[in-house]
Structure 1
Amino acid sequence: MRTAILFTMCAGMFLVQLDVTVVNVALPTLGSELNANVPQLQWVVVGYSVVLAALLLAGGALGDVVGHRGVVLTGLAVFGAASAACGLAQSAGWLVAARAVQGAGAALLLPGTMAVITGTFPGRTERARAWGIWAGISALALPAGPLLGGILVQTAGWRPVFWLNVPIVAAAAVATRRLVPPDVRKRGRVDVPGAATAALALGSGVYAVIAKTPWVGLLAVAAAVAFVVVERRSAAPMLPLPLLRSRQTAGANLVSAAMNFVGLGSVLVFTLYLQDVLGADPIAAAAAMLPMFVPMVLLGPVSGRLTARFGPRPQIVAGLLLGVAAMLNLLRIGPGTGYWTLLPTLFVLSVGMGLLTAAVVTAAVADAPDERAGIAGGVNNAARQAGGALGVAVFGAVAGEPAARGSFVHGLHLLGLISAGLWFAAAVLAVVTVHGRVRGKRLEPTG
């Protein structure tokens, strides 16, 4: 029974991770059918990740208050209904709104599945094995997303990319209701003002970048200040600010945000480049993107073992410097160059992120007290999602419309320089803030 619960929770988490990447390869096709421009396509991606990042911590807190089983069921229902709405979308605005609701469902699912697994496997050894399976299945969503999306788009259109979720969600909901026992509710309340100000800050910040509207950027700054004030005064804050007093925790979260800023932003522009500039069909474009995902998946466990032996700093610095080299390679791309010029960027960036991910999560939670390790992991996950949403916004805004090949390639050159500079600064930050060793901590994956 416990094995069945584990794989049911893995199915939920797989969908959350899958929908981060599966839609990218469908963007040119749905853009053509829905008459959507690049800013609207950016919102198809970030509408999901902005809401997921903004509500992630609130989703975990809600589970503590009302019970994680109920939150998982609610998350599955919301995610499934929103997926169906995505598949029925008749306009870009409809699709973006449905993607945002999907993100809300994902924000309930991600922490909820983690909590159910934690309660199902109380022993340290068995829990570690369960986390290993959970992390492995979740990681498979990275290469599966573009490949599955490419096959579906080319053979059946873009709508089945979303409809595919519905039967999986229905089966997971039935299994959750039958297998997972109700958990004990805790006293407390959800930090609604914190969640609202976080969502406003992140959403308006992304909108300001995509729409190139400075006044909305000021709203984002004001909302961010309001979020800090709210969290300082809250009796049950969504983000306990004392966690960030640790130099390592703060530094690791900034590095995490920078990692996904470049990683997810690159997925968007590389997909557009492959299909709209090089003329690849969806399946060919998906296969061409695999070098950006497969090394990352394979190196995840290796990075975990290296981090346990040498501490997180060497892997973080090495991964970031590899990323610097990868993004500088974009300067070699021209309107007439082919896939083989882009390939070193895809592969080396993936190797860098493979080294980074486990190490940066370890660094983010290592200084947290044991009773707050889960919250620290959630904060790091939120930082990664927020960085990814901003990355998609910035990368799309800088690259512009791929139909204008010359300016799009120039945008890729500029993005290569921006990304290399950002990751080099992150490497310096890691040297200054992250400890050489992590002692006395047993850490669990955070998604």
Structure 2
Amino acid sequence: MAGSLAFSAVAFGVLPYESIWMQTLLDMSPVRAGLTLLPLTGAAMVVSVLVGKLLHGVPTRLTVGGGLLLIGAGNLCQAVLDPGSGWTALAPGLVLVGVGTGFVAPTVAGAALAAVAPERAGMAGGAVNTVRQLGYALGVAVFGTVLTSRMADTLPHGAAHTLAGGGAGALRGAFSEHALRAAFASGLDTALVVAGLAGVVAGGAVLFLVRSPRAATAGARKPVEKAVTPRG
């Protein structure tokens, strides 16, 4: 459940602000800004199909933990923006996030269902979906706060909030285009670093803390010894 929460937060929590950056400062249309996320969605689709076919018997702690590590690395790879950057600077990192999503998304729900009795499968599935939605909401809130706080280092607090909310047009008369781009790029870089580190920590926690109940499994598979009455 913690891995599911972290997954939605770190994989998707910064994307709304990247979309705002592309539309308000790079002058991209909403459709074109949405299409720039195709590297993420395409990689996630391909990898999820391959994971379902080739890694069926692999422990979920490896797919979920490893996927979170890839998502964290993908966010860190995107934290290379400067005032002159375009959307292509995000593409390599988006591919990594997509690959990690392909590992996590199809297996995290199965891990939750496998952890409960069959009669509680509906409860487990609903809990995972709820936690994922909560993770996304928390990610947007936390990384938005990080973004705005970083932009407030170079812009007035009110202007930073306006810029983060997509109001770059209202600020162009008071600030230069370079200042607005520099502030938003710096804020995005900081938010991406925080998201990347959170993903790495969450992935490491899943890998090292989640363990299969080997003792119980071994006990269940241990053959029952039959008493043998010696012949006298």
Aligned partner (choices 193, 197, 203) of residue 421 of structure 1: 197
For residues 45 and 64 of structure 2, what CA distance do their matches in structure 1 show?
A: 16
For residues 307 and 378 of structure 1, what CA distance do their matches in structure 2 show?
A: 25
2:224 equivalent in structure 1:
none
For residues 378 and 414 of structure 1, what CA distance do their matches in structure 2 show?
A: 33
Paired residues, number? 187
Return the offset for 1:262: 1.8
**Matched-pair contact (CA < 8 Å) for 2:11–2:71:** no
Instruction: Provide structure 1 residue ranges, at least 5 long, that are not aligned to the other structure.
Output: 1-252, 440-447
For residues 101 and 181 of structure 2, what CA distance do their matches in structure 1 show?
A: 28
1:434 equivalent in structure 2:
210
For residues 2 and 51 of structure 2, what CA distance do their matches in structure 1 show?
A: 19
Name the CA shift for 1:372/1:306 in 2 (closer, same or farther; >3 Å). Answer: farther
Note the 1:19-418 alignment, pairs <5 A. Answer: 253-400=1-148, 401-402=163-164, 403=168, 404-418=180-194
**Matched-pair contact (CA < 8 Å) for 1:330–1:416:** yes
Of Structure 1 and Structure 2, the greater helix share is in 1
For residues 146 and 22 of structure 2, what CA distance do their matches in structure 1 show?
A: 17
Return the offset for 1:337: 1.2
Specify the SS of the correspondent of 1:332: coil
For residues 44 and 212 of structure 2, what CA distance do their matches in structure 1 show?
A: 23
Return the offset for 1:338: 1.5
For residues 411 and 310 of structure 1, what CA distance do their matches in structure 2 show?
A: 38
Return the offset for 1:312: 1.0
For residues 124 and 205 of structure 2, what CA distance do their matches in structure 1 show?
A: 19
2:152 equivalent in structure 1:
none
**Matched-pair contact (CA < 8 Å) for 2:72–2:196:** yes
TM-score, normalising length: structure 2: 0.73
For residues 309 and 437 of structure 1, what CA distance do their matches in structure 2 show?
A: 16
For residues 409 and 319 of structure 1, what CA distance do their matches in structure 2 show?
A: 26
For residues 349 and 357 of structure 1, what CA distance do their matches in structure 2 show?
A: 12
Across the aligned residues of Structure 1 and Structure 2, the Cα RMSD in angstroms comes to: 2.1
For residues 305 and 263 of structure 1, what CA distance do their matches in structure 2 show?
A: 23
For residues 94 and 79 of structure 2, what CA distance do their matches in structure 1 show?
A: 14
Deviations 1:243-283 (A, max 9, x none): xxxxxxxxxx1111111112221220121121112221222
Specify the SS of the correspondent of 1:337: coil
Off by >4 Å, runs of 4+ in structure 1? 436-439
2:151 equivalent in structure 1:
none
For residues 45 and 213 of structure 2, what CA distance do their matches in structure 1 show?
A: 24
The one-letter amino acid of 1:293's match is T
Asked which structure has the greater RCO (Cα within 8 Å, sep 6+), the reply is: 2
The one-letter amino acid of 1:268's match is P
**Matched-pair contact (CA < 8 Å) for 2:39–2:98:** yes
Moved more, 388-397 or 376-385: 388-397
Specify the SS of the correspondent of 1:293: helix
Specify the SS of the correspondent of 1:423: helix
Name the CA shift for 1:307/1:256 in 2 (closer, same or farther; >3 Å). Answer: farther
For residues 213 and 14 of structure 2, what CA distance do their matches in structure 1 show?
A: 31
The one-letter amino acid of 1:353's match is T
Name the CA shift for 1:433/1:377 in 2 (closer, same or farther; >3 Å). Answer: farther
Return the offset for 1:399: 2.3
For residues 431 and 270 of structure 1, what CA distance do their matches in structure 2 show?
A: 30
**Matched-pair contact (CA < 8 Å) for 1:259–1:423:** yes
Q: Which has the larger radius of gyration?
A: 2
Deviations 1:204-227 (A, max 9, x none): xxxxxxxxxxxxxxxxxxxxxxxx
1:205 equivalent in structure 2:
none
2:229 equivalent in structure 1:
none
For residues 300 and 420 of structure 1, what CA distance do their matches in structure 2 show?
A: 21
Deviations 1:24-68 (A, max 9, x none): xxxxxxxxxxxxxxxxxxxxxxxxxxxxxxxxxxxxxxxxxxxxx
**Matched-pair contact (CA < 8 Å) for 2:10–2:72:** no
Deviations 1:57-93 (A, max 9, x none): xxxxxxxxxxxxxxxxxxxxxxxxxxxxxxxxxxxxx
The one-letter amino acid of 1:397's match is T
The one-letter amino acid of 1:357's match is A
Return the offset for 1:306: 4.2
